[in-house]
Structure 1
Amino acid sequence: MKNFETPADAMQDLRQRGYEADFDLQLDCLYCSSLDLRLYEEEFNVDEVYHFKGSPKAGDNTVVYALTSPTGVKGIIIDGPETTIPDNSCDITKRLQNRLAAAGLSNPPVAREINV
């Protein structure tokens, strides 16, 4: 099991293991601009999740997801206080959370590797 101090540490480790694509949250998908690739809910697997909690007052709460597409594209998405999400509620974030909950991982431990 891997433990990291910061989201940047987790991302560095994931990059070294081939998770090179950077995905952004959109309303109905995850989007990688460098590959012009959209992944919808059923088109990716969540391989690992790292959950970091900061100051409860500030609402700091960052989650680093390691994802793989059926075609083998490996990437990262960050869901946190600095993430720019479209104005409407982000359906894809809810779907990520629902997929984790369905796997019994609705409250992942801080900075812990979880295989889904």
Structure 2
Amino acid sequence: MLNYDTLSQAINSLTSRGYTENLNLKPFCIECPSLALQLYPEDFTIDEYYRFEGASDPADNSIVYAISAIDNSLKGMLVDAYGVYAENITPEMARKLRVEK
């Protein structure tokens, strides 16, 4: 994995490497609105992830995931908060998105 100082650097790099779809986190799946596609935990892999912590505000904590569909139908990014501000998701999604510090 590469290192980035900012979220925007990570996003720009991932975009240049083909992670072009913007993904949304839903309780049971990841959604790709532009392709009207839903990916459940068994449908995708996390290729890379990068965490960013706000200097003084915990609300600034975020993570960007580089995600590929198992069937190679898409490569995209999911940007989300983490910690106490993370979305309410199913245990299966939580296990899939769990990353180690």
Quickly name the TM-score band, shorter chain normalised.
0.7 to 0.9
Q: Which has the higher helix share?
A: 2
SS of the counterpart of 1:12? helix
* Structure 1 gaps, min length 5: 101-105, 108-116
Match of 1:110 in 2: none
Match of 2:31 in 1: 31
| Cα pair 1:29 1:38 within 8 Å, conserved | yes
Match of 2:47 in 1: 47
Flag the structure with more relative contact order, 1 or 2, with Cα contacts below 8 A and sequence separation at least 6. Answer: 1
- TM-score normalised by length of structure 1: 0.73
Identity over aligned pairs, percent: 34
SS of the counterpart of 2:19? coil
Match of 2:66 in 1: 66
Match of 1:103 in 2: none
Match of 1:90 in 2: 89
Q: Which has the higher strand share?
A: 2
Match of 1:80 in 2: 81
Match of 1:114 in 2: none
Q: Name the count of aligned residue pairs.
A: 96
* Structure 2 gaps, min length 5: none
| Cα pair 1:51 1:61 within 8 Å, conserved | yes
Q: Distance in 2 between matches of 1:70 and 1:57?
A: 36
Counterpart residue type for residue 22 of structure 1: N
